[in-house]
């Protein structure tokens, strides 16, 4: 149980385009989803927290107009990287939890390469 999927697993795009990444909880209802960014050989950096049906809460230094997060249902959250640039190339990982539980379950990640 507690499976989280991400799509796509890999995406290559041209600079200036927008990219949407989906995060789904497959066997539970995720009241809260999180988006992280991981640079090579580094730890995870929390970008934002999203609760179903409400606006995402962004961490300090994360541009909310660049990284659009939508959590429209209890099983789906999307991260859209708008007008992507090479410096946005990274490994993006989502996680989800339900109710008051503290454990987060992570997706397999999406590797974004902006040319």
Partner 1 sequence: GNSVTQMEGPVTLSEEAFLTINCTYTATGYPSLFWYVQYPGEGLQLLLKATKADDKGSNKGFEATYRKETTSFHLEKGSVQVSDSAVYFCALSDGNNFNKFYFGSGTKLNVKP
What's the CA gap between 48 and 23, in Å, rounded?
13
Residue 25 binds partner 1, judged by CB under 8 A: no
Q: What is the DSSP letter of 26?
A: S
Beta carbon nearer to partner 1, 19 or 23: 23
Q: Which of 7, 13, 49, 52 binds partner 1 (CB under 8 A)?
A: 49
- Shortest gap between Cβ of 98 and partner 1 (angstroms)? 11
Under the rule (CB under 8 A), what is the footprint of partner 1?
4, 6, 32, 34, 41-44, 46, 49, 57, 93, 95, 100, 102-109, 111
């Amino acid at each position: 149980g507690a499976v989280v999927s991400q799509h796509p697993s890999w995406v290559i795009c041209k600079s200036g385009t927008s990219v949407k990444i989906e995060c789904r909880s497959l066997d539970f209802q995720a009241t809260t989803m999180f988006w992280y960014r991981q640079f090579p050989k580094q730890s995870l950096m929390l970008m934002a927290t999203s609760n179903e049906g409400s606006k995402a809460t962004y961490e300090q230094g994360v541009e909310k107009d660049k990284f659009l997060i939508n959590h429209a249902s209890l099983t789906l959250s999307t991260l859209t990287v708008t007008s992507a640039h090479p410096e946005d190339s990274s490994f993006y990982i989502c996680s989800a939890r339900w109710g008051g539980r503290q454990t987060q379950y992570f997706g397999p990640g999406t590797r974004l390469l902006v040319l």
